[in-house]
Amino acid sequence: MATVVVIGTQWGDEGKGKVVDLLTARADYVARFQGGNNAGHTLVVAGKKIILHLTPSGILHPDKVCLIGNGVVVDPKVLLEELDRLQAFGVAVAPERLVISAYAHVIMPYHRLLDLAREARKGHSKIGTTGRGIGPCYEDKVARTGVRIHHLLDEASLRRRLEAVLDEKNFLLTHYYRQEPVDLEAVLDEYLGYGRLLAPFVGDVSTCLNRAIAENRAVLFEGAQGTHLDVDHGTYPFVTSSNTVAGNACCGSGIGPTKIDHVVGIMKAYTTRVGGGPFPTELFDTTGEHIRTCGGEFGSTTGRPRRCGWLDLCVVKDAVRLNGLGSLALTKLDVLTGLPVVRIAVGYRCDGAVLDGLPAEMERIERCEPIYEEFPGWEEDLRSVRRFDDLPAAARRYVEAIRDHVGLPFSIISVGPGREETIVVKDPFAS
Ligand code: GDP
Ligand code: IMO
Ligand code: MG
């Protein structure tokens, strides 16, 4: 058996939820290792759709164990609501099937308030965050002033944590952002209540995963966001506040780097991005509109229209290097049906030079002009195709061009949102 990490190669929303749900059939354990409920991972099974923000996307498979690692930031209210939504969906999640790391940090009310207040104050230069308190929560983690899941299980220690931070948070909220302060007793009460409800799920994710790996069980790691939203390697400062790259599967779950066998990079057949930041292949014309409409490109978390553009292989090739990808999963190929031509960016022209990856400086990325290769489009509906050879010749050529430029094989090609609307070229667990 094996350990496989699934990550997004672009700016998020590549279809990680669908691919993780699909691959869970081959796994015993599925773990999230970073991000929080800024993620929105969509699963469509037997025509029914559910969007998951915190629970790993393996949860619909009744006999698999899902884990929320120490690297995730958990909003306990959102998680409890999600467990209720799953119950209404017909999936009762017993504590044997969901383990939440005691070390995971908790998103507190002041994190959400600060996230929103900061964005409002930035005006045009705002990042366009999801407003879920992700950045402020990670800031507190690194500043060593955070609240962790285990604090919710012990009144005295939660009180001590809040006493240590609330003065400063309330000063910022009231004097700088002109907001209402947060009341210690009310927060204590509310969060101890969440602690009581979550207590049966709290456990030692690192030990659980290491035991599973020692027993040769198959483990799947589910990335959130995408490589170019990584706080170090992404289009800084228009990024999220965690490391989204595959290496963080280790830090964010408590396993060693020698335990990872294979990394699958998910890429959409085109590019999207939500929120601010550079996007060299963005389309502002009817083709962009066509992609947004046919691809249903509206945020799974915030409902915002996603910015759409041509596939950018500079972005994907950077992701190959940053994540040590072993194979690719291509999603949403069906969405390009009906376009007379399709384009792929294979490099950039920038300040008189030709580049094949994104430069570090935001201002330089904004000056990058994509160099495109153009391919004929196709008219056929792809959603019933289950074998690569059954794709229309033009779609095959498009996929082969991507493979040749990137230099990696495809393990999966997705032709619709449904679990079954998939061409499995090679099982990543067999790599
Ligand atoms: P994630 O954040 O990477 O899990 O992706 P999202 O769930 O935010 O966005 C992907 C969207 O595309 C969801 O609405 C999926 O149901 C949908 N989707 C995934 N794969 C395909 C595909 O191959 N074709 C089409 N048409 N939709 C897809
Ligand atoms: P999934 O897992 C797409 C973006 C936000 C914003 C930036 C910072 O569904 O792919 P944050 O709230 O994290 O501080 O916002 O990151 N962002 C995402 N974009 N998909 C996501 O997750 C995202 N999570 C955060 O839009 O630009
Ligand atoms: Mg998403």
Alpha-carbon Rg for the chain in angstroms: 21
Q: In this structure, which CATH number among 3.40.50.720, 3.30.390.30, 3.90.170.10, 3.40.50.300 belongs to the domain 3-96+204-430?
A: 3.90.170.10
The pLDDT of residue 300: 81
The reply to whether ligand 2 has any atom less than 6 angstroms from the CB of 130 is yes
The pLDDT of residue 398: 98
CA 178/CA 376 separation, integer angstroms: 56
Hey, what amino acid is at 64? K
The pLDDT of residue 124: 87
**Residue numbers of the chain with a pLDDT score lower than 50:** none
Domain ranges within the chain, ordered by starting residue: 3-96+204-430, 105-201
Q: In this structure, which CATH number among 1.10.300.10, 1.10.3860.10, 3.40.50.300, 3.30.460.10 belongs to the domain 105-201?
A: 1.10.300.10
The closest residue, in CA terms, to atom 26 on ligand 1 is 416
> For 172, which DSSP code?
I
26-67: pLDDT as tens digits: 999 999 999 999 999 999 999 999 999 999 999 999 999 999
For residue 49, give the ligand 1 atom closest to its CA. Answer: 16
* Count of CB atoms situated within 10 Å of the CB of 353: 8
HSE value, Cβ hemisphere, 13 Å, CA-based, for 187: 21
The reply to whether ligand 2 has any atom less than 6 angstroms from the CB of 107 is no
- How is residue 216 written in tokens? 């040769």
If you measure from the C-alpha of residue 171 to the centroid of ligand 3, how many angstroms do you get, rounded to a whole number? 34
Cα→Cα distances 281→81, 271, 304, 354, Å: 37, 8, 19, 16
CA 106/CA 113 separation, integer angstroms: 14
Q: Which helix (H) or strand (E) holds 43?
A: strand 41-45
68 beta partners: 32, 100
The pLDDT of residue 1: 57
Torsion of CA 353, 357, 358, 359, to 10 degrees: -50
The reply to whether ligand 1 has any atom less than 6 angstroms from the CB of 415 is yes
The pLDDT of residue 301: 81
Hey, what amino acid is at 248? N
3-state secondary structure of 184: helix
Tell me which ligand sits closest to the C-alpha of residue 225: 2
The closest residue, in CA terms, to atom 16 on ligand 2 is 240
Cα→Cα distances 11→51, 55, 230, 339, Å: 18, 21, 9, 23
* Count of CB atoms situated within 10 Å of the CB of 184: 15
| 105 contacts 140 by C-beta, under 8 angstroms | yes
Q: Is 237 exposed, middle or buried (0-12, 13-18, 19+ CB in 10 A)?
A: exposed
Q: Which helix (H) or strand (E) holds 309?
A: strand 307-309
The reply to whether ligand 1 has any atom less than 6 angstroms from the CB of 219 is no
Q: Is 241 exposed, middle or buried (0-12, 13-18, 19+ CB in 10 A)?
A: buried
Q: Which of 42, 59, 381, 415 to mutate to test the pocket of ligand 1 (most atoms within 8 A of CB)?
A: 42
The pLDDT of residue 431: 72
The reply to whether ligand 1 has any atom less than 6 angstroms from the CB of 69 is no
The reply to whether ligand 1 has any atom less than 6 angstroms from the CB of 16 is yes
The reply to whether ligand 1 has any atom less than 6 angstroms from the CB of 18 is yes
Which residues, 6+ apart, have CB-to-CB distance to 318 below 8 Å?
227, 228, 233, 357, 358
- How is residue 340 written in tokens? 């007379």
If you measure from the C-alpha of residue 16 to the centroid of ligand 1, how many angstroms do you get, rounded to a whole number? 8
The pLDDT of residue 43: 97
The reply to whether ligand 2 has any atom less than 6 angstroms from the CB of 134 is yes
Confirm whether 13 is a catalytic residue.
yes
| 45 contacts 90 by C-beta, under 8 angstroms | no
Q: Which of 57, 129, 243, 279 to mutate to test the pocket of ligand 2 (most atoms within 8 A of CB)?
A: 129
If you measure from the C-alpha of residue 282 to the centroid of ligand 3, how many angstroms do you get, rounded to a whole number? 18
For residue 297, give the ligand 1 atom closest to its CA. Answer: 11
Confirm whether 151 is a catalytic residue.
no
If you measure from the C-alpha of residue 41 to the centroid of ligand 3, how many angstroms do you get, rounded to a whole number? 5
